[in-house]
Amino acid sequence: MQIKIIIAGPRGKMGSEAVQMVNHEDSFDLVACIDRQNGGRTLKDVEQLPDLDVPVFDDPEQCFQETDADVIIDLTIPDAGFDHSKLALLYDIRPVVGTSGFSQEQIDALEDLSITHGTGCIIAPNFAVGAVLMMQFAKTAAKYLPDVEIIEKHHDQKLDAPSGTAVKTANMIQESRESKQQGNPNEKELLDGARGAEADGIHIHSVRLPGLVAHQEILFGGPGQTLTISHDSYNRASFMEGIKLSVHKVMGLNKLVYGLENILE
Ligand SMILES: NC(=O)C1=CN([C@@H]2O[C@H](COP(=O)(O)OP(=O)(O)OC[C@H]3O[C@@H](n4cnc5c(N)ncnc54)[C@H](OP(=O)(O)O)[C@@H]3O)[C@@H](O)[C@H]2O)C=CC1
Ligand SMILES: O=C(O)C1=N[C@H](C(=O)O)C[C@H](O)C1
């Protein structure tokens, strides 16, 4: 069976890679794209999408009405990604969402909608299988080494901080570790932000530099020892197998799944 796919954000760093991946996959059929035509660009820019012989809509509702799609892959920005996913669920089109930066309220709202409609949805903060393993290893390590800090490093075009992966890592660590404030209870920041952001006592540090793609280290400390678990994505191809798997899996789901680890066999 051919899976009919819409890609939102096809000119982006991830979206353009996803267009190529979908075009190379025999069981996938790219039927349309959603791209915005304001943002200072001309329609000509939109028409210059590489090798794209499909309609490009700037109105998602028109896209969903005029396209008989099974799945939408969203790789845009948080507000647009949320609106696309919400609307797609109303049209029984299954969202596979890579876009990071959704609030917990937005994730809960999409979960409610997907259950009400019985329509599958996958939101994955990171589609790279190595990153998922990193998070799972960190969850195990935190049981034994509860003092932990996260350093995530990304390219300097990234809009959200901390990264979706860092937030998900902290959440997974919380599942196995007793709540704990890392560091000296009397510590004082001499410069605001010196200790990074904080989630349940876990400090998260965000680095943004040209030259980076997507990298994370999780540092654990115990008496006389440290453990570092790290993952590096050197290019966006690293995320494509996870997106491919998610597109197949979402066809058999009737509710929202958050995190690639929940669909990996
Ligand atoms: N889950 C995962 O494994 C991964 C997730 N990501 C996430 O994916 C998202 C995209 O990342 P990346 O490709 O690097 O970012 P880019 O900025 O390269 O691409 C985003 C694209 O979305 C477009 N866009 C913005 N608003 C809209 C809208 N309303 N409708 C349609 N298109 C829109 C942008 O257009 P314009 O140029 O006009 O702004 C741009 O082409 C981010 O949230 C990122 O964090 C990234 C890598 C892996
Ligand atoms: O913006 C990116 O590039 C990435 N975003 C995701 C995140 O916020 O965790 C996934 C990956 O780290 C790349």
pLDDT tens-digit map of 182-199: 899 999 999 999 999 999
* Whole-prediction pTM: 0.94
> Band of the pLDDT at 45, cuts 50, 70, 90?
low
Q: Is 55 annotated as a binding residue?
A: no
Distance 143 CA to ligand 1 centre (A): 35
4 part of the active site: no
pLDDT in tens, 75-125: 999 999 999 999 999 999 999 999 999 999 999 999 999 999 999 999 999
ipTM value = 0.98
**Residue 211 marked ligand-binding:** no
Tell me how many degrees the CA angle 150-156-162 measures, rounded to the nearest 5: 30
Q: Which of 178, 95, 179, 164 is nearest to 132 (CA)?
A: 164
Q: At the top level of CATH, which class does the domain 129-234 belong to?
A: alpha beta
Ligand of minimum distance to the alpha carbon of 102 = 1
| Closest ligand by atom to 125 CA | 1
Mean pLDDT on 232-249: 98
Would you say the CB of residue 110 lies under 6 angstroms from ligand 1? no
pLDDT at 43 over 80: no
Identify the weakest region by mean pLDDT among 33-42, 109-118, 159-168, 178-187: 33-42
101 is in an annotated binding site: no
Domain range summary for the chain, segments of one domain joined by +: 3-123+237-262, 129-234
User: With contact defined as beta carbons under 8 Å apart, do 22 and 28 qualify?
Assistant: yes
pLDDT band at 36 (very low <50, low <70, confident <90, very high): confident
Mutate to test the pocket of ligand 1, among 6, 13, 14, 99 (most ligand atoms within 8 A of CB): 14
CATH class of 3-123+237-262: alpha beta
Task: State the catalytic residue, choosing from 84, 139, 153, 154.
Answer: 154
Q: What are the distances in angstroms from CA 139 to CA 203, 229, 233?
A: 15, 11, 20
- Say whether 139 is catalytic: no
Question: Given its phi and psi angles, is residue 210 left (phi above 0), alpha (psi -120 to 50 degrees) or beta?
Answer: beta
